[in-house]
């Protein structure tokens, strides 16, 4: 096998939709998939998302009442026990160490350790939150759980 023999998997590459190429293209012929008349058929036309042709848009028709707590919610970045096995025995694992090895990406209010998988090393894990079964698994191996919010103090149980 040589480089010129390589081909993409069948079905992984699709040809782009070529609009406005006549009646033989299967794309509407003279209207080019735009329909007959109206605003959308004209050249240069575009409307913003949610525009309903002058009708009062749904977002403005619906009543806006009440309070939503979503913007104040605590969002944890999950890390599972089996992914902690890549650290050496006796290591202190905190959010910076997890980001360094690529287990934690993006923004959040801290890391929460979840209990998927089996932990095989004795680690000192510093995180914002722990599931109860993850805490039990870490302590069963002789490791310790520290609360990142309290500056590394032993964490109280989270619900």
Per-residue pLDDT at 156: 59
Residues whose CB falls within 8 Å of the CB of residue 142, separated by 6 or more in sequence, listed in order: 122
Q: Give residue-wise pLDDT tens across range 12-48.
A: 999 888 888 888 888 878 888 888 898 888 989 888 9
Q: Using 50, 70 and 90 to split pLDDT, how confident is the model at 154?
A: low
Tell me the domains of the chain and their CATH numbers: 73-154 (3.100.10.10)
Say what the pLDDT of residue 3 is.
Answer: 95
**Does position 71 have pLDDT exceeding 60, yes or no?**
yes
pLDDT of residue 17: 86
Q: What is the pLDDT of residues 79-136, one digit of tens each?
A: 999 999 999 999 999 999 999 999 999 999 999 999 999 999 999 999 999 999 999 9
The pLDDT of residue 54 is above 70: yes
Q: What are φ and ψ of residue 127, in 5° steps?
A: -145, 165
């Amino acid at each position: 096998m040589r480089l010129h023999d390589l081909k993409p998997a069948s079905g992984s590459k699709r040809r782009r939709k070529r609009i406005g190429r006549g009646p033989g293209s299967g794309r509407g012929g003279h209207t080019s998939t735009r329909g007959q008349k109206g605003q959308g058929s004209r050249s240069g036309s575009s409307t913003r998302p949610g525009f309903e042709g002058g009708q009062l848009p749904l977002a403005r028709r619906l009543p806006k009442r009440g309070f939503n707590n979503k913007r104040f919610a605590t969002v944890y970045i999950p890390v599972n026990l089996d992914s902690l096995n890549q650290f050496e025995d006796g290591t202190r694992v905190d959010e910076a160490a997890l980001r360094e090895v690529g287990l934690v990406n993006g923004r959040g209010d801290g890391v929460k350790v979840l209990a998927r998988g089996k932990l095989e090393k004795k680690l000192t894990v510093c995180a914002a939150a722990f599931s109860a079964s993850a805490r039990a698994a870490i302590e069963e191996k002789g490791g310790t759980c520290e609360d990142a919010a309290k500056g590394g103090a032993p964490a109280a149980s989270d619900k």
